Amino acid sequence: MIEKIVKAADKRKAASISAFRVFQLTEVTTFMVIVEGNSKPQNQAIALAIEDDIKIDFNGQLPISKEGSASSGWILLDYGSVIIHVMTPQMRNFYKIERRWKDAEFFDVTHLMSPQDASNRPYDASMDLENLFDEDNWDQKKDIEGEGDDIDRDEEDPFWK
């Protein structure tokens, strides 16, 4: 199913596709896939392409749950063993889901995608902090990288914009 999801998202030009196994970390699901669309209409098209391809190839299977909408910038498709997040870059950067699942087993899915330019590389959460600060602000970086799931409280939640 992961292969079908990645290919469906790729055919709608999704960017930064990540897939990882989380079964050892949660009882909710086995796999998570996160894809990025550059606009709300593109996110809707990506989610519909995934739903259609899964329905065709998996005997009419529909998501158990579908949450969010293109207008919110985040669509979640729950297929039980696989949860798919279709997000705008702003939502993905704000919520940093990959960071919360840092102990998960990440899969390289680039071989499933069509030849790509640099913007379609898999998302690398480690780049968030590396590119955020220059050497003069190293102490500020250490504060953010500290223990627990620190969230930048000054940043506005893109959902409420």
105 is written with which tokens? 């087993």
Contact 19, 112 (CB under 8 A): no
Angle between helices 2-11 and 40-57 (to 10 degrees): 140
Q: What is the mean pLDDT of each run of 10 residues along the chain (161 residues)?
A: 93 92 88 93 95 93 93 94 94 88 86 65 50 46 45 55 54
Number of other CB atoms surrounding residue 11 within 10 Å: 15
Contact 12, 115 (CB under 8 A): no
pTM: 0.71
| Residue 138: predicted pLDDT | 44
